[in-house]
Amino acid sequence: EWAAKRFREQVKWGADGLKIWKPFGLSVRDEHGRLVPVDDERLTPLWETAAELRKPVMIHVADPVAFFDPLTPQNERWEELHAHPDWQFPSPPYPAFRDIMAQLENLVTRHPGATFIGAHVGCYAENLGWVSRLLDKCPNFYVDISARLGELGRQPYTARRFCLKYADRILFGTDAGPSLPAYHIAYRFLETDDEYFNYDLSDPPTQGRWRIYGLFLPDEALEKIYSLNARRLLGINR
């Protein structure tokens, strides 16, 4: 209730939405030392307030699937996890990835009046079938594509079908500050049929040693992903 009250005040000051980051379901604990799941009922006032105020909730749960896998040479994020060992979440002691995703599904299903935007392609870019199922099940669920060009671009046929089918539910994002070179990569991925190029500015790419393929989306879908969907969710008419 305290958080809901604070959010209400922040909306009065100009906030257009709420961001929930990944510690819920992963590391946040209550006063008794118990893990607070993503779908904890004690957070209900927050979601109800977001629904009442018609403000979207950007939610990030878990992390790339490889971050939950054993850190062996077979892990495709081997180099990234060695550079950032605090990004590894082995189970145990951390919850299993699939359990956190089940909590997200429960949350979105339980609060149909609230609009949720699943960061990083619904927090599960590796499995667009799972994300598609939740989009079909829950009209209040949207996704952004931030920091997941690498995952989308190595499954270009599936990703293109996904982006065309859910063009009204996908938002553009980068997970970083403004960067013209980074934008060029994103535009190349979304707008062209170029093949086998880097998905970020590093060589080799930071998330894994693979390349991506462009989706060559039509202008109608691009306009929705780049602008129209965000304008609609945020109530921007200008």
| CATH classification at residue 217 | 3.20.20.140
Which residue segment(s) compose the domain that 69 sits in? 2-234
pLDDT tens-place string over residues 19-28: 999 999 999 9
Domain count across the chain: 1
Tokens describing residue 96:
């299993």
Q: How far is CA 197 from CA 150, 225, 229, in A?
A: 10, 22, 28
Q: Global pTM?
A: 0.97
pLDDT tens-place string over residues 9-49: 999 999 999 999 999 999 999 999 999 999 999 999 999 99
Give me the helices (H) in 73-199, please.
78-83, 97-110, 119-122, 128-137, 149-152, 156-165, 180-191
The rounded distance, in Å, linking the Cα atoms of 36 and 39 is 8
